[in-house]
Structure 1
Amino acid sequence: MSSEVGLSERGNITVQRLESALERLINGKPDRTPNDGKISLSRINKEAGLSSGGIYYYAEFVDKARNEIEKHKSQKSGYSSNSNKTSIDKLRAQRDKERELKERYRSQRDEIKKFCDQVVARNANLEFSLYEALERIDALETEVKKVKVVELDRGKKS
């Protein structure tokens, strides 16, 4: 594109930045914006690194960019159904992978829960056994206290 009429050196540099940003977006190799194939004036502005609405100061470039965007959209519509199918397939594969991960995590959670329940049950069983043993010890101690122990002297007295 020829430089716009009456632009300063700085304006010409800005137009060059806009043109290279448009070229990067058309080629699918943007630096500052997502690489999703979308092209708009706003995206060209962001890709060029201009402030919001800066592109609109360059009317000739805006007209050229709109034409390029239309060309790009018409070319893209020819093979967009293929790209849509591949993106849908990718999304389905991702969904299936997430489902499989969720199922695996659920089964791991259930196994851990089952293990924890077994540990708690075993702990309760041990506590009850300890309680019974302590009760038996108390009963035996009271029985020993009731019994009077008498010493028997056998043999010679000195």
Structure 2
Amino acid sequence: MPTWHYSTDIAEKNPEKTAKAMMWDAPISPKEATELARVIRGMKLTEAKAYLERVIKMEEPVPYRRYHGKVAHKRGLADKHGIPMGRYPVKAAKYFLKLLKNVEANAEFKGLEVEKLKIVHIASHKGMTIKRWMPRAFGRATPEFERRTHLEVIVEEVE
């Protein structure tokens, strides 16, 4: 059996003030997850949840800094984030919101105050790829790859 661990040891340095959560094999794009994690890293937990809900409603786009090839410009992104390219990764935002609700429940169980929680570490890693082949005409086949992503988040109570 594989052993799963976090990619950082922030939580072990101060376990009384931190809470953490993981999600393995989420069926979302690793590129969308990377861009979304970059935006909400460093936010307060409550404002990150509000931001993700706005992304799900397609009210606020996510800036694409690394994977921005052929990505359209969105109004207001350059003023707020300094980069005009962005998209609305709704499916990825739903999974991130689920992860943040999970870490919030973990923090409440440990007795931490939810209003003081700040995201100190959030990361996404490529998971496995499920490979399927769809038969086509004349004996050919088209690949259908389903990519999975591992997500992890650590929040810390700040004063």
TM-score by length of 1: 0.28
Greater relative CO, 1 or 2 (CA 8 Å, sep 6+): 2
Bigger Rg, which one: 1
